[in-house]
């Protein structure tokens, strides 16, 4: 990658320890934005449940967090499976205590023209991005309501909840659903002091996008973006910390765009 070497938005050592004592559940923690989210929350003092299917990657991350005396627990979950979600959230609360923070990062995309897409493509993207986000938020939300101590839920949507790109129709549809899910949950759960917000990232360099942006065409694509670069997972640190901390006490049902101005021009 030839993305300029931009510093992380908040260097980990400067993160305030303002999540001390909080328990957090992070899906998609084996990679990309979820992995970074887990690291940032742990650096800020939270006890973090690291949830995804690739447990070997979660174990590695757990070791990294333990190395700075953070607390983390790897948990296998398939977000498309309600029983798996229930067991994972139960295991997290048993080990870490009542959850106060949920960050839903698990997500996939399929790149095909609409005419080429099959039912299995539709099901896998919708089941992961929409049903998966919903199952986890519902399970954690129910528990937050029972515990009576409020909570902060952050769903990772995308700028493609609004913009559309060819080959990504189901992904765009799924992210639009995540935005409406966020707003609906914020509306119903405000009375329980549970805040539900979404982050809508533009292009960020992760496993999901690496192949494209590593190619010659991808490099030309980066050069054409508004500021000639794509994001790194660390670029989400600031908005993430805003939405999981007291700093966001008057924010719920919001979708915060995090795209370096990419959508100000054609993607
Ligand atoms: N990168 C971008 O440019 C960008 C832009 C906008 C929005 N987003 C969104 O950001 C979120 C994170 O994506 P990323 O870029 O970090 O991609 P990534 O590196 O591919 O990470 C995706 C994560 O989702 C997990 N996952 C997928 N299916 C799952 C399932 N059935 N059960 C549990 N976990 C599952 C994966 O873990 P396992 O495979 O180990 O289960 C992995 O940890 C996604 O919702 C994506 O749509 C990304």
Q: Are 69 and 45 in contact (CB under 8 A)?
A: no
Nearest residue to 17 via CA among 46, 37, 38: 46
Q: Is residue 4 part of a domain?
A: no
Ligand 1 pocket member 179 (CB < 6 A):
no
Please name which of 69, 5, 67, 11 lies closest in space to residue 40, comparing C-alpha atoms: 11
CATH of the domain at 109: 3.40.50.720
Ligand 1 atom closest to 36 (CA): 16
* pLDDT score of 267: 86
Which residue has the least CA distance to atom 20 on ligand 1?
208
Question: Does residue 192 have an active-site annotation?
Answer: no
Report d(CA 53, CA 42) in Å as an integer: 20
> Can you tell me which atom of ligand 1 is nearest the CA of 109?
47
> Does ligand 1 lie within 6 Å of residue 17's CB atom?
no
- How far away, in angstroms, is 33 Cα from ligand 1 center? 7
Nearest-atom number in ligand 1 for the CA of 78 is 32
The protein residue whose alpha carbon is closest to atom 16 in ligand 1 is 32
Q: Determine, yes or no, domain membership for 1.
A: no
pLDDT digit of tens for each residue in the chain (267 aa)?
433 343 455 555 556 679 999 999 999 999 999 999 999 999 999 999 999 999 999 999 999 999 999 999 999 999 999 999 999 999 999 999 999 999 999 999 999 999 999 999 999 999 999 999 999 999 999 999 999 999 999 999 999 999 999 999 999 999 999 999 999 999 999 999 999 999 999 999 999 999 999 999 999 999 999 999 999 999 999 999 999 999 999 999 999 999 999 999 988
Does 88 fall in a domain? yes
Query: Which atom of ligand 1 approaches the CA of 128 most closely?
Result: 31
Supply the range of the domain harboring residue 87. Answer: 12-260
What distance in angstroms lies between residue 28's CA and the mean position of ligand 1's atoms? Answer: 5
Angle at 88 between CA 86 and CA 92, to 5 degrees: 115
- 267 within a domain of the structure (yes/no): no
Q: Distance between CA 194 and CA 187 in Å, rounded?
A: 10
Residue 59 token pair? 């174990």
Q: Residue 200 Cα, ligand 1 centroid: separation in angstroms?
A: 13
**Other beta carbons within 10 Å of 254:** 16
User: What is the reported pLDDT for 17?
Assistant: 75
Two tokens at 89?
């959230």
Catalytic residue among 42, 132, 170, 171: 171
Is 41 contained in some domain? yes
Q: How many angstroms is it from 106 CA to the middle of ligand 1?
A: 4
Question: Are the CB atoms for 79 and 137 separated by under 8 Å?
Answer: no
Q: List the residue whose alpha carbon is closest to atom 24 of ligand 1.
A: 106
Question: Would residue 248 count as lying in a domain?
Answer: yes
Structure confidence at residue 4 (pLDDT): 38
Distance CA 21, CA 35 (A): 20
Task: Report if residue 44 sits inside a domain.
Answer: yes
Report CA(105)–ligand 1 centroid distance (Å). 6
User: How many domains does the chain divide into?
Assistant: 1
Ligand 1 pocket residue status of 125, Cβ below 6 Å: no
Q: Please name the residue whose Cα sits nearest to atom 43 of ligand 1.
A: 28
Asked whether residue 149 is domain-assigned, the answer is: yes
């Amino acid at each position: 990658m030839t993305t300029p070497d931009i510093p992380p938005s908040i260097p980990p050592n400067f993160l305030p320890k303002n999540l001390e004592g909080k328990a957090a559940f992070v899906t998609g923690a084996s990679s990309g934005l979820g992995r970074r989210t887990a690291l940032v929350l742990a650096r800020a003092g939270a006890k973090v449940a690291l949830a995804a299917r690739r447990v070997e990657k979660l174990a590695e991350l757990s070791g990294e967090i333990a190395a700075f005396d953070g607390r983390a627990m790897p948990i296998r979950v398939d977000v498309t499976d309600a029983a798996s979600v229930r067991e994972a959230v139960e295991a997290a609360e048993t080990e870490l205590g009542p959850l106060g923070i949920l960050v839903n990062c698990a997500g996939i995309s399929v790149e095909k023209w609409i005419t080429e897409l099959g039912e299995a493509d539709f099901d896998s993207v919708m089941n992961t991005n929409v049903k998966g986000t919903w199952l986890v938020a519902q399970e954690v939300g129910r528990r937050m309501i029972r515990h009576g101590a409020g909570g902060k839920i952050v769903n990772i949507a995308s700028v493609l909840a609004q913009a559309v790109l060819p080959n990504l129709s189901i992904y765009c549809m799924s992210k639009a659903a995540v935005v409406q899910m966020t707003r609906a949950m914020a509306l119903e759960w405000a009375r329980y002091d549970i805040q539900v917000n979404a982050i809508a990232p533009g292009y960020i360099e992760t496993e999901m996008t690496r192949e494209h942006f590593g190619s010659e065409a991808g490099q030309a694509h980066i050069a054409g973006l508004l500021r000639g670069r794509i994001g790194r997972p660390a670029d989400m640190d600031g908005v993430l910390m805003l939405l999981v901390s007291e700093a966001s006490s008057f924010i719920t049902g919001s979708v915060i765009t995090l795209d370096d101005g990419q959508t100000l021009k054609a993607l």
